[in-house]
Amino acid sequence: MISKYLGNLRTEAIHEQSGTKLVCDAPLDNHGKGESFSPTDLVATALGACMLTIMGISAETYGYDIVGTTLETEKIMGTNPRRIVEIKITFNFPKDREFTAQQRRVIEAAARTCPVANSLHPDIKKTLVFNY
């Protein structure tokens, strides 16, 4: 990945393998325009995407389907120092599917043990809600 500062508190990152570009802006509450994801938004987004990915791997491995599952992410910031103190993620599974108790345990364990979750500082609270 290559990143470049564009000015006006905006950066652009390029994923070298695919050429995909990602723009980040400083948030409104930190001198920015808030016209795109902030770096801390990306941390929270990365956590959710990682959780869904690992859940998807588990689903494929054990023969069930989570395609269409969505999530809502809320990032809570703290001060002194400015940092993420909590990430709340609500998973919404398709209503046309039922999951056994065992499948639910596997799904939830997969989410909690994704690489991003394991990389975040333990002081960052991760609140997860699973709506089946």
Q: What is the pLDDT of residues 92-128, one digit of tens each?
A: 999 999 999 999 999 999 999 999 999 999 999 999 9
Q: Could you tell me if 28 and 56 lie in one domain?
A: no
Q: Could you tell me if 33 and 46 lie in one domain?
A: no
Q: Could you tell me if 44 and 18 lie in one domain?
A: no
Q: Could you tell me if 96 and 109 lie in one domain?
A: yes
pTM: 0.92
CA distances from 35 to 2, 9, 10 (A): 21, 11, 9
Q: At what angle do helices 39-62 and 101-112 cross, to 10 degrees?
A: 140
CATH number, domain containing residue 114: 3.30.300.20
Q: Could you tell me if 31 and 45 lie in one domain?
A: no
pLDDT at residue 23, rounded to an integer: 95
Query: In the chain, how many domains are there?
Result: 2
pLDDT at residue 124, rounded to an integer: 97
65: number of CA atoms within 13 Å, CB side? 6
The DSSP element (H or E) to which 25 belongs, if any, is strand 21-25
**Taking phi first (over 0 means left), then psi (-120 to 50 degrees means alpha), and beta for anything else, what does residue 5 get?**
beta
Q: Could you tell me if 33 and 45 lie in one domain?
A: no
The DSSP element (H or E) to which 129 belongs, if any, is strand 125-131
pLDDT digits (tens, 9 = 90+) for 52-69: 999 999 999 999 999 999
Would you say 16 and 2 are in contact if contact means Cβ atoms under 8 Å apart? yes
Structural domain boundaries enclosing 107: 39-131
Q: Could you tell me if 54 and 106 lie in one domain?
A: yes
pLDDT at residue 96, rounded to an integer: 95
Q: Could you tell me if 51 and 61 lie in one domain?
A: yes
Q: Could you tell me if 127 and 86 lie in one domain?
A: yes
Q: Could you tell me if 74 and 99 lie in one domain?
A: yes
Q: Could you tell me if 72 and 102 lie in one domain?
A: yes
pLDDT at residue 38, rounded to an integer: 95
Q: Could you tell me if 3 and 49 lie in one domain?
A: no
Give the mean pLDDT of 29-35.
90
pLDDT at residue 3, rounded to an integer: 96
